[in-house]
Amino acid sequence: MTPLGPVAAGERAHLISFFLWMLPITLPILIGTPWIAMRYRRHGGKGKYDPNWAHSVGAEVVIWGGATLTFLIVGWLTWGHVQGEDPYKPTGKDPMHVKVIGSEWKWMFIYPGKVAAVNRLVLPENTPVEFDLTATGAMQSFWIPRLAGQIYAMPGMKTKMNLTTSENPSQTYGFNSQFNGAAFPLNKFEVDVVSQDQFNAFLQEPKHPFAQLEKQFKKTATWSGPELFEPPETGFWDKVAMNPDMLTDGGAAILPDNAPEQKQIDDAIRDELHVSQIQPQGDAQ
Amino acid sequence: MSILGSLDWNDIFIVPFFTEPSLSTGIAAGAGGVVVLGALAVMVLLTVKGWWKPLWSNWITTLDHKKIGVIYIVLALIMLIRGVLEAVVMRAQQVSPAPGFLSVEHHAELFSTHGTIMIFFVAMPFLTGVINVVMPLQIGARDMEFPFMNAVSLWLSIGGAALVMASLVVGHFETGGWTAYPPYTGIKLSPNEGVDYWIWSLGLTSVGSTLSGINFLVTIYKQRAPGMKLFDMSIFAWATLCTAILMIFAMMPLTVASLMLALDRQAGFHFFTATQGGNMMNFANMFWLFGHPEVYILILPAFGVFSEVIPTFSGKKIYGYTSLVWATIAIAVLSFTVWVHHFFTMGQTANLNAIFGIATMTIGVPTGVKVFNWMLTMWRGKLRFSTAMLFSTGFIFTFVIGGITGVMLANPTIDFATHNSLFLVAHFHNMLIPGLLFGMFAAVNFWFPLCFGFRLDEKWGRRSFWLWMIGFYGAFMPLYAIGLMGAPRRMAFFTEPAYFPWLVIAMLGALCVLAGLIAQVIQIWVSVKNRESLMVPAGDPWDGRGIEWSLGCPVPEYDFTTIPAMTSREPWVDAKEAGKRIMDPTEFVDIHLPKPTGMPFLVGLVATLFAFAMIFQMWLIAAVGFVAMWVLVLIRSYDTDWEETITAEELREGYEAHKRLVETTPQIRLDDEFTTKNRGLIMETQV
Ligand code: HEM
Ligand SMILES: [Cu+2]
Ligand SMILES: [Cu+2]
């Protein structure tokens, strides 16, 4: 996973550093076990046999000491990492705000006072962004792997996630990683990081009325239709966060046998697969 | 509402296939068919062979802890076969061209039943079974403290498993994974009976496990042989003690959380719905308040097994007994303090995450110490690689890799990037397959003669080990890789071409695991066929160390003719070193054992009926089942004639018979332990 932004890069660095810090205490086991197995095997092993050797102060000190020391190091590092990379802490001055609502099986992004979008997240390059997350229906996990780790979006609750976008324009994707029913594999969105000019142009693109979005968004279904809408009145996101039922008709995520929605989902899956054949998401390594 | 509640035609397993034929519904119908036909085949076999009666009188009605243990293990093996087959189907689904041959929901049912089955109906019965067989024998007890309750626990667990099997035939299982988080599992989003299957099958076993925990704990406190101090107990008994405490305290939050979910679903409560003042984060907290200690319930008994197997096959005392005991206690205590690491991503403060992350890492200290203890036990030993020892060595090596990734996941900033990914799936399988299944396999290979009197075939045992070991690496190392690339768990199909080669390797690995499982079935079959030549009637076929090896194989119903004198931590080793081949008897006295009774079976049966009725909202039947359950318990409580006596004379005869057997069994060398010369009582002779 090649990180595009500093948060994901930090996470990757921690991953590597932790792996390396674990080696001093684990390599002796990984090498020692096969070595002991060879050396002390009953037939042909060269090791000395000492059936009553069952305690050694030196060994105890080394074992408990080594394990404790490793723990102290990784524990200390953890404290620093967590404080440094608190997803609630803005990654720069005056982050741009995007309000997010997850639903079965689509995402709404509200750029307050400017535009609302579905399944399409456009962000200016090299900019700190703060996402305010909530959901209707099931709990979701909001994740853009190449930019930052995930945070849950839950109905009736508000959570936050901060990140800084890539230095240059880039394309990636985000998705919900928490299983939520029949169209879970389709529960993803495009992420375009663009130049400031392009971003301004994006805000000016033609829009559909918000009422249309609201009506269609309530259905338990995958999204098909326009992506850009007029923004809702201010405070809309907070209202949804307090009362998630206002943005859902409450359909089932587990469809009864022979449900007509299933056909739509099957079609959407076929569509999706077709698209991804032409344009693979190209995110290997 | 009809008496049959919400049950209708479409719930019967083959109907959807006819109304909407597809590969997905076909597989569902096929699986249901296998269950029905399998059940029928077993019944026909029992009838033809005339085995109903012996089955009833020797097994179903038994209160003998060893037989109860065996039934638990058989249950675990049957469910393991289903769990592994489901895993193979999931792997096949992900390598077939997207969107694969399963619908998203069918795939979801598969990972949900796989997870639920593996944890609750493979791991739990397996370890409960092994504890049942071994622990009383190691502490010099004649049975559990509460033999009747022991059997009730068993039948409740079987009832729970039967419900999960029934979900293949009638209706659906749930799709929210083994964790079943609301609001997804609430009535709105999951309106069918699947979640209720999850709730009630877990309800039955979790009550069973709580009772088992109480039973184990009280047995260890009250039934130890006179003179045996806690710090004289085997490490396995210590592991049992800690596991039992975890079982008692950890199952409760699960039972409560699942019953609250049931109230939400069927009685209009709002514990976990956001709109009416409920909060599903409480479910996550309660679930993992159970869930994290649970993983130590799963792992500690296996740690105990390794601590018995490794010294035996190293021909050496266990290294660092005291260290090991304290490490076990530390793990048990700490396991209650870390549950938040399962949802670092739920938006709590950085400090809270950091504290729970660091608390999680503390568990690495005692766990690491234990691993070094096992290594140092092998150090300066004379290692014999029996099947049990191979599984133990394979465990040490493989488990450490899971430990590395575990500490990585405990760092919240790393968890943000790996939570809900296949990296996590790889991690927990990396802990559970070596740290649980390998331990249980080692236990079966090691202690099998105690129950059946003969050894298991070594050749097939070793083959099964290598297949499991290679299969594990094949199946899960690729998941680490694609997990880091951002592949989420529970995904029915991937559109990412870069994942494909890894998924193919994982598929081959899963097939290799399946081959390992088949090798184990063959191993049992071959061993039963050749049981005459594998017989070890004099006991102690591996120069064992615990007092369970001072008994003849199979161990008689009353376990000990006289309760052994505990003069040291390893009295059997002392006796052998003093040149004895049988422990000196203490005092022969009349003993009382509970008579076999069909009551626990009936309690389990009506409890299962109750649970099934709750699933399909057949309130009347549920009420009848619930009342019947307690009536049966009451009837039993007033039964005064429930014991039978074994006289001191019979015990003395048992002792004499065993002594004669021991005297006529020729002494053979340890080098011959895996040959047919081994008739028991093998010893290291100076060669
Ligand atoms: C024997 C070889 C095994 C294989 C090949 C295997 C394979 C799998 C697969 C493919 C999944 C679904 C992963 C996903 O979410 O995409 C899974 C999930 C899981 N497995 Fe296994 N598994 C095996 C053994 C076990 C064992 C022994 C246990 C526990 C004792 C276990 C516990 C679980 C659990 C708890 C889940 C998560 C289910 C969920 O998402 O809720 N598995 N396994
Ligand atoms: Cu929440
Ligand atoms: Cu945990």
What is the tens place of the pLDDT at every residue in B442-494?
999 999 999 999 999 999 999 999 999 999 999 999 999 999 999 999 999 99
Separation between Cα atoms, residue B71 and residue B69, nearest integer Å: 5
DSSP A47: S
Rounded to an integer, the average pLDDT of B497-501 is: 94
Report the predicted TM-score, pTM, of the whole model to 2 decimal places.
0.95
Question: Which residues in chain A are closer than 8 Å to B381, comparing Cβ atoms?
Answer: 40, 49, 51
Whether A83 and chain B come into contact, CB under 8 Å, resolves to: yes
* B682 pLDDT higher than 90: no
Determine the average pLDDT of the residues in B537-551: 94
B32: confidence class by pLDDT, cuts 50, 70, 90: confident
Is the link from the previous residue into A105 a cis peptide, with omega within 30 of 0? Answer: yes
- How do residues A34-49 score in pLDDT, each as one tens digit? 999 999 999 888 889 9
Residue from B246, B240, B201, B241 nearest B75 by CA: B201
- CA dist A190 and A26 (Å) reads 41
Q: Given pLDDT bands bounded at 50, 70 and 90, which one contains residue A224?
A: confident
pLDDT for residue B453: 95
Assess contact for B555 and B577: CB atoms under 8 A. Answer: no
**Which run of H or E residues covers position B61?**
none
Instruction: For residues A88-93, give the mean pLDDT.
Output: 94
Task: Report pLDDT for B27.
Answer: 85
Q: What is the pLDDT of residue A126?
A: 95
Mean predicted confidence (pLDDT) in B265-294: 92
Tens digit of each residue's pLDDT (9 = 90 or more) over A154-176? 999 999 999 999 999 999 999 99
Helix/strand/coil for B35: helix
What A58-61 contacts at long range (C-beta under 8 Å, 24+ apart), as own/partner pairs, is A59/B319, A59/B320, A59/B372, A59/B376, A60/B320, A60/B323
DSSP state, B592? Answer: E
Residues with a CB atom less than 6 Å from ligand 1: B 84, 87, 90-91, 111-112, 114-115, 118-119, 122-123, 177-179, 425, 429, 432-433, 436-437, 475, 489-491, 510, 513
- For the stretch A102-147, pLDDT in tens is 999 999 999 999 999 999 999 999 999 999 999 998 999 999 999 9
Q: Is B430 helix (H, G, I), strand (E, B) or coil?
A: helix
Query: Which tokens in the block code for residue B426?
Result: 């790889």
Query: Is pLDDT of A220 > 90?
Result: no
Ligand 3 centroid to residue A33 C-alpha, Å: 27
Quote the mean pLDDT of chain B.
94
Residues with CB under 5 A from ligand 3 (ion): B 292
Q: What distances in angstroms separate CA B669 from CA B411, B676, B682, B684, one per listed residue?
A: 52, 12, 7, 6
What does the pLDDT read at residue A257?
Answer: 65
Least confident among A271-285, B588-602, B628-642: A271-285
Point out the ligand nearest to the CA of residue B342.
Answer: 3
The ligand minimizing its distance to the Cα of B345 is: 2
Contact flag A49-B380 (C-beta cutoff 8 Å): yes
Lowest mean pLDDT among A123-132, A243-252, B343-352, B656-665: A243-252
Handedness of CA B30, B35, B40, B44 (dihedral sign): positive
Report ipTM for this prediction: 0.94
The answer to whether B69 and B447 are in contact (CB under 8 A) is no
Is pLDDT above 60 for A281?
A: no
What's the B422 CA to ligand 1 centre distance in angstroms? 10
B289 Cα: distance to centroid of ligand 3 (angstroms):
9
Choice among A266-280, B195-209, B431-445, B605-619 with the minimum mean pLDDT: A266-280
Give chain A positions within 8 Å (CB) of B368: 25, 63, 66-67, 70
| Ligand positioned closest to the Cα atom of B473 | 1
**Alpha-carbon distances of A169 from A116, A166, B366, rounded to whole Å:** 21, 7, 48
What share of chain B in percent tops pLDDT 70? 99
- AA letter at B548: E
How far does A204 lie from chain B, in Å, by closest CA? 33
- Please give the residue that has the higher pLDDT: either B473 or B12: B473
Residue of the CA atom closest to atom 4 of ligand 1: B87
- Say how many CB pairs under 8 Å bridge A and B: 320
Q: Is A162 at the interface with chain B, CB within 8 A?
A: no
Q: Could you tell me which residues are beta bridge partners of residue A103?
A: A106
Q: Look at residue B687 and tell me whether its pLDDT is greater than 60.
A: no
Residue B611: name the closest of B208, B312, B315, B12 by CA: B208
Using alpha carbons, select from B342, B357, B359 the residue that is nearest to residue B284. B342
Residue nearest to atom 28 of ligand 1 (CA): B118
**What is the phi/psi pair of residue A189, to 5°?**
-145, 155
Question: Hey, is the C-beta of A138 within 8 angstroms of any chain B C-beta?
Answer: yes
pLDDT of residue B1: 53
Residue from B91, B429, B469, B489 whose mutation best tests the ligand 1 pocket (most atoms within 8 A of CB): B429
Mutation pick from B280, B372, B672 vs chain A, by most beta carbons of A within 10 Å, is B372
Cα–Cα distance for residue pair B419/B286, rounded to 1 Å: 19
Inter-chain residue contact B347 with A151, CB threshold 8 Å: yes
Q: Which of residues 49-78 of A touch B (CB under 8 A)?
A: 49-56, 59-60, 63-64, 66-68, 70-71, 74-75, 77-78
CA distances from residue B131 to A74, B143, B236, B239, B244 in whole angstroms, order as listed: 36, 12, 9, 10, 10
What is the model's pLDDT at position A275? 57
Tell me whether residues B368 and A146 touch, CB distance under 8 A.
no
Residue A11 has pLDDT above 50, yes or no: yes
Q: How far apart are CA B84 and CA B515, in angstroms?
A: 10
| Helix boundaries (H) for B485-598 | 500-529, 531-534, 571-577
Q: Which residue's alpha carbon is at the smallest distance from atom 43 of ligand 1?
A: B87
Residue of A nearest to B382 (CA): A42
Q: Whose CA is nearest to atom 36 of ligand 1?
A: B115
Assess A149–B contact: CB distance below 8 Å, yes or no.
yes
**How confident is the model over B226-234, as a mean pLDDT?**
93
pLDDT at A282: 39
pLDDT of residue B439: 98
The alpha-helical segments, DSSP class H, found in chain A are 6-39, 57-84, 196-204, 210-217, 236-242, 260-278
CB atoms within 10 A of CB B532: 8
Q: Tell me the mean pLDDT in the region B641-656.
A: 93
* CB contact set of B625 (below 8 Å; sequence gap of 6+): B606, B607, B609, B610, B611, B613
**Mean pLDDT throughout A253-259?**
74
The mean pLDDT of B511-519, rounded to a whole number, is 98
Identify the CA nearest to B621 among candidates B2, B3, B1. Answer: B3
Q: Which of B548, B472, B469, B519 is nearest to B305 (CA)?
A: B548
Ligand closest in space to the Cα of B360? 3
pLDDT average, residue stretch B357-375: 96
Cβ-defined contact of A150 to B496 (cutoff 8 Å): no
| DSSP helix/strand/coil, A128 | strand
